[in-house]
Chains A and B, each alone.
Chain A
């Protein structure tokens, strides 16, 4: 194109854009994902705005620790944004029941999601859907492939092989066997208990039995993971009691530890940080040949503020999020956050491919404490954090932990009484 034509075209476009922007709708998006700010600004928002002129997006994340508190305050007072990023299960259910989240069961894009995916953001009887599922995370173990090769270790598939590998690494002494700390208690519960747990309580089977009252937390399937955690204490670094989650990340990425119990969200971060080969394996089963179970947890959803003034634009946006265009951008920009839609997505990152391949090899399950069981006081999730840390440190025996948690749960949860 000749230069003058180009300039002419640009001028014309800007005039048109100026005219169009007079009617532009701006959607404000609430989120806790500070981590994703750059990706939204560079990839997601431009893609959406290019396809949907007339709607502008304003992605305004808050500090993750404060998100729930801040969001609830803003919703109560009416100053929240148009689009709300939804925490899974009860946190968002409460918002829906309080009338803050709109019912979007009839959204066109909802057809792209399986019932399991939708369960994180629907009422207990699955009749109303209030958020579009956006991403899930899978749990497993990432290991330092160079270290494994150096020490001649094969990827463990059973419990026995797992601890044998840990023993080998410990004896060798040049690596910390496992990078995990207990200071940030959720680490012990989420990357510890809920990571390996599904193998013992048999995934959805056990979880649903717990919900129905057919199993209690003192049953072997629920206590066994605590036993495993208790054994791990010997393989963690020195001073692990004060080791925080970022410390664990750093120990692994600096190459000082060999195995890192993880969630798939680490992939994109780790890719930038490590200078060694990484591999991943799913939680080892008890006996060779057992079905494996993984924690495939519905983590992020996105919904509409019931009080928004821009509901049409918001619906357009939500339908776009439910589409495969968004899934592809998101999955590749954030390897480790797996889109929940049925559309197949081509992942470029090898580690992410490894994780998602487990969906075929193993049964998926969500984290045990997230649906319904954390509604009351004491809250089973926080109790699980507490118990996981206690058994690793040796302050409580696995049986006692199970009994204590059962007592807490039974105090308010009718099916368990």
Chain B
């Protein structure tokens, strides 16, 4: 039953939004756009002059810059692909296993899988460089022990393998995050649904594919877009492992390192905030496009489910009314019991807002 909107101004909306918007605008948006604005300027003899889109033309047109840019973009795309193909499926699988109620020591496994995420980049970069090092690393020794010594190469030093190696290290570090999100999503599926499915004879793996997976698709969607954004903003691990020059021969150069190197300079190369801002604007554009594709192309199609306590889940992207099997007469929250508002013959109304 919709509550009639009172005609007075809804101050509470402003109150809820204000603190976040204020801090965010003042400390994040304003400085960022101030800096992005720099991409429309250039510096000649210590004075800043307006050059319009010249910096972008240089970035995409001038061979010296564009080669580096497209190289960084291609590397970044590969970096993202590895994460999507390896990190997210493994995270989902781990979450599925861990959410199985009969698994013992699940808290221990969860913590163990999540520990790499807690580590600082300095440790991760150092530890993996050491493990994979041809001189002191245990990787050659371990491969040798299982007779696969010939497979070993100094991967971090070879152009063909360095990026994939670092992507896999990054996957190792961050697999805990999709795992946690999916785990939370899986745990919020009410038991009744699963029990009902068991009554229908669906258990185990098919329960996962047919019941759980569709219900957690929105979360998987969130993770995918977050992975996209995080990967295209990534910087720290490559920087910690290979330095700002992202060797060997720019094989591990991604947009983040390219932008950092240009903006802040590196060694003798002086920082160029104007070209750096141009690159940052380009990065922003790319990420924006990706997120928009997700929001308008994919999210629309995902069904969002609301769980009514112990009731079945009702798909809310369609307006049909469903029979409910049971109706809980009430909820307990805080210290009050409240009478429920559902009756077996009450018409469900369309939810108060579009959830798609």
Chain A interface residues (CB < 8 Å from chain B): 65, 68-69, 72-73, 89-91, 94, 97-98, 181-186, 237-244, 247, 250-251, 369-370, 374-375, 377-379, 381-382, 385-386, 389-390, 395, 408, 411
Determine whether B133 belongs to the interface, using a CB cutoff of 8 Å to chain A. yes
Q: Contacts of B271 on A, CB cut-off 8 Å?
A: 68-69, 72
Q: Contacts of A239 on B, CB cut-off 8 Å?
A: 133-135, 140, 153-154, 157
Q: Contacts of A243 on B, CB cut-off 8 Å?
A: 133-135, 154, 157
Determine whether B158 belongs to the interface, using a CB cutoff of 8 Å to chain A. yes
Q: Which residue of chain A lies nearest to B250 when distances are taken between CB atoms in the complex?
A: A386
Q: Contacts of B267 on A, CB cut-off 8 Å?
A: 68, 186, 381-382
Q: Which residue of chain B lies nearest to A386 when distances are taken between CB atoms in the complex?
A: B249
Q: Mark B129-144, 1 if CB is under 8 A from A, else 0.
A: 1001111100010000
Q: Contacts of B249 on A, CB cut-off 8 Å?
A: 386, 389-390, 395
Q: Which residue of chain A lies nearest to B129 when distances are taken between CB atoms in the complex?
A: A244
Q: Which residue of chain A lies nearest to B271 when distances are taken between CB atoms in the complex?
A: A72
Within 8 A of A (CB), among B83-109: none
Q: Which of B133, B244, B272 contacts A242 (CB 8 A)?
A: B133
Q: Contacts of B248 on A, CB cut-off 8 Å?
A: 182-183, 185, 241, 389
Q: Which residue of chain A lies nearest to B122 when distances are taken between CB atoms in the complex?
A: A63
Quick one: which of B65, B134, B136 has the most chain A CB within 10 A? B134
Given contacts A242-B133, A244-B129, A247-B136, contact A379 B268 (CB under 8 A): yes
Q: Is the CB of A65 within 8 A of B243?
A: yes
Q: Contacts of A374 on B, CB cut-off 8 Å?
A: 268-269
Q: Contacts of A379 on B, CB cut-off 8 Å?
A: 268-269
Interface of B is mostly: loop
Determine whether B265 belongs to the interface, using a CB cutoff of 8 Å to chain A. yes
Q: Is the CB of B135 within 8 A of A389?
A: no
Q: Is the CB of B245 within 8 A of A382?
A: yes
A369 to B266 CA separation, bound complex (whole angstroms):
14
A250 to B135 CA separation, bound complex (whole angstroms):
10
Q: Which of A69, A242, A381 contacts B156 (CB 8 A)?
A: A242
Q: Which residue of chain A lies nearest to B140 when distances are taken between CB atoms in the complex?
A: A239
Chain B interface residues (CB < 8 Å from chain A): 46, 64-65, 129, 132-136, 140, 153-158, 242-245, 247-249, 264-272
Q: Contacts of A185 on B, CB cut-off 8 Å?
A: 245, 247-248
Q: Which of A68, A241, A242, A385 contacts B265 (CB 8 A)?
A: A68
Q: Is the CB of B64 within 8 A of A411?
A: yes
Q: Is the CB of A89 within 8 A of B157?
A: no
Q: Is the CB of A91 within 8 A of B270?
A: yes
Q: Which residue of chain A lies nearest to B45 when distances are taken between CB atoms in the complex?
A: A97
Given contacts A247-B135, A247-B136, A385-B245, contact A69 B265 (CB under 8 A): yes
Q: Contacts of A382 on B, CB cut-off 8 Å?
A: 245, 266-269
| Interchain nearest-CB distance for B109 vs A (Å) | 32
Q: Is the CB of A241 within 8 A of B245?
A: no
Given contacts A97-B46, A239-B135, A381-B269, contact A68 B156 (CB under 8 A): no
A89 to B267 CA separation, bound complex (whole angstroms):
11
Q: Is the CB of B135 within 8 A of A251?
A: yes
Top 7 nearest A-B pairs by Cβ distance?
A239-B134, A241-B157, A242-B154, A242-B157, A69-B264, A239-B154, A374-B268
Q: Contacts of A378 on B, CB cut-off 8 Å?
A: 64
A370 to B267 CA separation, bound complex (whole angstroms):
10
17 new A-B contacts at CB < 8 Å, known A239-B140, A247-B135: A72-B264, A90-B268, A91-B270, A183-B156, A185-B245, A185-B247, A239-B157, A242-B158, A243-B157, A247-B133, A250-B135, A375-B270, A377-B269, A379-B268, A381-B267, A381-B269, A382-B268
Q: Contacts of A247 on B, CB cut-off 8 Å?
A: 133, 135-136
| Interchain nearest-CB distance for A390 vs B (Å) | 7
| Interchain nearest-CB distance for A244 vs B (Å) | 7
| Interchain nearest-CB distance for B287 vs A (Å) | 23
Q: Contacts of B136 on A, CB cut-off 8 Å?
A: 247, 250
A369 to B243 CA separation, bound complex (whole angstroms):
20
| Interchain nearest-CB distance for A381 vs B (Å) | 4
Q: Contacts of B157 on A, CB cut-off 8 Å?
A: 181-183, 239-243
Q: Is the CB of B129 within 8 A of A68?
A: no
A186 to B268 CA separation, bound complex (whole angstroms):
12
Q: Contacts of A69 on B, CB cut-off 8 Å?
A: 264-265, 271
| Interchain nearest-CB distance for A91 vs B (Å) | 7
A416 to B65 CA separation, bound complex (whole angstroms):
21
| Interchain nearest-CB distance for B24 vs A (Å) | 21
Some 18 contacts from A to B, beta carbons below 8 A apart, are: A65-B244, A69-B264, A73-B264, A97-B46, A183-B247, A183-B248, A237-B134, A239-B157, A241-B248, A242-B129, A242-B155, A243-B133, A370-B268, A377-B65, A379-B269, A381-B267, A382-B268, A386-B249
A138 to B135 CA separation, bound complex (whole angstroms):
28
Q: Is the CB of A242 within 8 A of B134?
A: yes
Q: Is the CB of B154 within 8 A of A90?
A: no
Q: Contacts of B270 on A, CB cut-off 8 Å?
A: 90-91, 94, 375
| Interchain nearest-CB distance for A88 vs B (Å) | 9
Q: Which residue of chain B lies nearest to A408 when distances are taken between CB atoms in the complex?
A: B64
Q: Which residue of chain B lies nearest to A256 when distances are taken between CB atoms in the complex?
A: B135
Q: Contacts of A65 on B, CB cut-off 8 Å?
A: 243-244
A296 to B247 CA separation, bound complex (whole angstroms):
28
Quick one: which of B132, B244, B248 has the most chain A CB within 10 A? B248
| Interchain nearest-CB distance for B246 vs A (Å) | 10
Q: Which of B133, B245, B264, B268 contacts A89 (CB 8 A)?
A: B268
Q: Contacts of A237 on B, CB cut-off 8 Å?
A: 134-135
Q: Is the CB of A389 within 8 A of B129?
A: no
| Interchain nearest-CB distance for B51 vs A (Å) | 16
A218 to B280 CA separation, bound complex (whole angstroms):
36
A239 to B137 CA separation, bound complex (whole angstroms):
11
| Interchain nearest-CB distance for B311 vs A (Å) | 56
A100 to B108 CA separation, bound complex (whole angstroms):
54
A69 to B46 CA separation, bound complex (whole angstroms):
18
| Interchain nearest-CB distance for A130 vs B (Å) | 15
A415 to B47 CA separation, bound complex (whole angstroms):
25
Q: Contacts of B46 on A, CB cut-off 8 Å?
A: 97-98
A89 to B154 CA separation, bound complex (whole angstroms):
36
Q: Contacts of B247 on A, CB cut-off 8 Å?
A: 183, 185, 389
